[in-house]
Structure 1
Amino acid sequence: MPFVRKRMFAPKKQKAFLYLIQELGYTQKEAQRLIAKGRLFVSGKPMTKTAGEIEGEFEFIYFEPITKGLEPTYEEEEFVIFDKPSGVLIHPQNRYTPYSLIDELKYQYGRDANITHRIDQETSGLVLCAKNKQSERDIKMMFEQRDMKKKYLAFVHGHFEKELTVEAPLLRAEDESAIVRMVVKVDEKGKASKTDFKPLQYFSEVDMTLVECSPYTGRQHQIRVHLFHVKHPIVGDPIYGQSEENIIKFLERELSEEERIKYSGAKRLLLHASELGFELYGRSYHIKSKVDFLKTSLLYVM
């Protein structure tokens, strides 16, 4: 379990954040943020005053990363790239999440290493991670300036016959029903969004197409919504292209694996972050995933 509750002892009265700095190596900002989040307990009650004092025994909840042996697909002095498997979260959802990619990163490269962007839990593929706080700032600035070129592979329903550019604004819905807390839709009031699509191979026996996707913008669920918009939803997508009843069942974790395969075509979302292209510290990089997405996808659909 990455979050552990540890019993600790302060031999003399002192500021709690100073103890965490001296004993656990946090910065003042980190120590005070953790105290404010209720991670430090005195007599069983959380301390939330960042200038609070401790003496004697207390408990502290902190993140202790674990490893499952996931090795990076590419590494430089300032950054590292992982090929994230489908089903692995980028960050823990709560204190009880057993494992996420941030575990692997911090276990291997230390507390200052951090993930610089996100892909969905079920999306597999490349994730660029910083090894230190300076490279984290530099990489996040690169993303903000849209200097990162990404390519994805997706298996979609139907025969996707020709190259296509979709420019459809996206809006995160927040007003219709309980299901929309995760749903993004095409709406003229939304944010400008653009994706290029290129069909690579059609599989007539299952009526599905392998498509290369190149997003120019990085909106939430952009590729998924744009493909659904042009009537080629991604195979295995439990949200876009599904009935409201099945969306609710999926969000409430009541949709069985058999039902999901029946209605969406696969037990996982068949979307893979396959390539990253960028310039950093005076060098150009073009990193490709080492995962054979075509081969692994066919195991799900054929």
Structure 2
Amino acid sequence: MPFVMKKMYAPIKQKAFLYLIKELDYTQKEAQRLIAKGRLFINGEPMTRTAGEIEGEFEFIYFEPITKGLEATAVYDEFVVFDKPSGVLIHPQNRKTPYSLIDELKYQYGRDANIAHRIDQETSGLVLCAKNKESERDIKMMFEQRDMKKKYLALVHGELKESICIEEPLLRREDESAIVRMVVKVHEEGKASKTDIRPLKYFAETDMTLVECSPYTGRQHQIRVHLFHVKHPIVGDPIYGQSEEDIVKFLDKELDAEKRIELSGASRLLLHANELEFELYDSVYNIKSKVDFEQICLESMITNSQCE
């Protein structure tokens, strides 16, 4: 598990953040942030005062990344790109999360490496990661300025015959529903959002279409909500297009795989980040996933038919 509790010893009385800087090579900002988050314990009690002092034995919760051997799809001097499998988190949800992509990145490229953007846990595909603090800042600025072109592949229910441009505003707002954890909806008060959808291949036997999705904005769940809005929900989506009762079961991890396949058509969300195109440091990059997503969709269809 990446988060481990380590016993440490300070031979003389000193500021805790200075000890962490010296012993663990943190910056002052990093050390004080971790102390403020309650990562340092004295006699079992967390210290949260960033200027607090330590002497003798204490415990510190330390992020120690692990690897599962996931290799980067593309490696450059300032950044790398991973092809994230479906089901893998970008960052740990809590200290008990056994593995996430940040583990793999920091294990292979060091503590200063960081993930520059996010995709959902169930979405597979390309994730751009910075190797250092400087490139992280520049890449995040690139995303903020919308200088990144992204293309996704998705398998959707129904036949989509022609390309469509969806420009529906998206709103995330808490309400009294039991599903406030995921509420994103098309709403006139929402933020401007735009997604181009292009059909690639229709599978008549399952009445499903493989489509390419090009989002021009980066709203949460944008592609999923837009496709659901035009009556072509993504196969395997356990949220959009499902009843509130079943959504809550999924979020509470009480929806078994067989029931999920019955409700949504697959045991995973069939959405894949397939291509990234951007300009960085005077060079243009076009990076494509090496995953055969159509084959994954075909295998999903076979699995689903076997479960019927």
Contact 1:173–1:181 (Cα < 8 Å) also in 2 = no
What is the deviation of 1:217? 0.1
Mapping 1:101-140, distance limit 5 Å = 101-140=101-140
For 1:81 and 1:57, locate their aligned partners in 2 and report how far apart those are by CA, in whole Å: 41
For 1:53 and 1:257, locate their aligned partners in 2 and report how far apart those are by CA, in whole Å: 51
Quote the residue 2:173 is aligned against. Answer: 173
Mapping 1:1-302, distance limit 5 Å = 1-302=1-302
For 1:281 and 1:251, locate their aligned partners in 2 and report how far apart those are by CA, in whole Å: 41
For 1:224 and 1:62, locate their aligned partners in 2 and report how far apart those are by CA, in whole Å: 36
Which aligned runs of 4 or more in structure 1 are off by greater than 3 angstroms?
none
Q: SS of the counterpart of 1:198?
A: strand
Q: SS of the counterpart of 2:179?
A: helix
5+ residue gaps in structure 2? 303-308
Quote the residue 2:305 is aligned against. Answer: none
What is the deviation of 1:173? 3.0
1:62-119 per-residue CA deviation (whole Å, 9 max, x = no partner) reads 1000000000000100000000000000000000000000000000000000000000
What is the deviation of 1:235? 0.1
What is the deviation of 1:176? 3.1
Contact 1:183–1:239 (Cα < 8 Å) also in 2 = no
CA RMSD of the aligned region, Å? 0.5
5+ residue gaps in structure 1? none
* Normalised TM-score (structure 1): 0.99
1:111-141 per-residue CA deviation (whole Å, 9 max, x = no partner) reads 0000000000000000000000000000000
One-letter amino acid of the counterpart of residue 120, structure 1 = D
Quote the residue 2:306 is aligned against. Answer: none
Contact 1:38–1:46 (Cα < 8 Å) also in 2 = yes
Contact 1:37–1:48 (Cα < 8 Å) also in 2 = yes
What is the deviation of 1:248? 1.1
What is the deviation of 1:297? 1.5
For 1:173 and 1:219, locate their aligned partners in 2 and report how far apart those are by CA, in whole Å: 13
Identity %: 80
One-letter amino acid of the counterpart of residue 203, structure 2 = F
What is the deviation of 1:38? 0.4
What is the deviation of 1:296? 1.1
Aligned residues: 302
One-letter amino acid of the counterpart of residue 49, structure 2 = K
